[in-house]
Amino acid sequence: MDERTMPEGYMEDAQGRLVPLSRVDPIDRARDELVRELVERARATRESLRRTKAGMMGDIAAFVSLSAEEHGVRYGGQKGNVSLLSYDGRYKVVRSMADAITFDERIHAARELINECLRDWTEGSSENLRAVVDAAFDLDREGRMSAGRILGLRRIKVDDPRWRAAMEAISDSVQIVGNKPYVRVYERGEDGKFAAISMDMAAV
């Protein structure tokens, strides 16, 4: 039920039933209020990050254009990747464009070839490989395969023509459907190495 149409004096439970407030334990009401407050704060943070990213991307693009016009300097390389350093070399901002990858129907042929290999090989080490393969072909919450995990299978060297054929099928099935921009900010530490300034809540 939409919270905007919730009858006064009631709360909706997990089964969609309306429960009078008088029958809801105070601790349950307090928990509900806390969760909703935290969710709103998370949504506000997400929106702030979206605006920050959009602003940073726009500022970088504007600077690249300005530099090209005024100084004849060309930043970046393929796919619009750009690396900008502060004058003292302490800070670095990187804009990268990562390909958005999907797979066509040939990925199913690759999976069947891999399964044939796993069925025919002896048990033992192949069981570990099966776990790697199964994880690679798992679907995420949106029903998509992990391009990184599947393409990572090509790094596994197996002397079996069916495996090699499967790896070729994986390569042939790759479809580039666009690219996704990223902005990463780095600070140089006392050891001279750059470390990312994380904008991920889980990492701070």
Task: Output 180 or 14, whichever has higher pLDDT.
Answer: 14
pLDDT tens track for 33-72 = 999 999 999 999 999 998 999 899 889 888 887 887 776 6
The amino acid sitting at 188 is: R
Handedness of CA 56, 61, 64, 67 (dihedral sign): negative
pTM here is: 0.59
Q: Work out the average pLDDT over 76-105.
A: 83
The C-alpha torsion from 73 through 80 and 195 to 192, rounded to 10°, is -30
Backbone φ/ψ region at 179: left (φ over 0), alpha (ψ -120 to 50), beta: beta
Locate 181 and state its tokens: 């921009």
Q: Work out the average pLDDT over 93-116.
A: 89
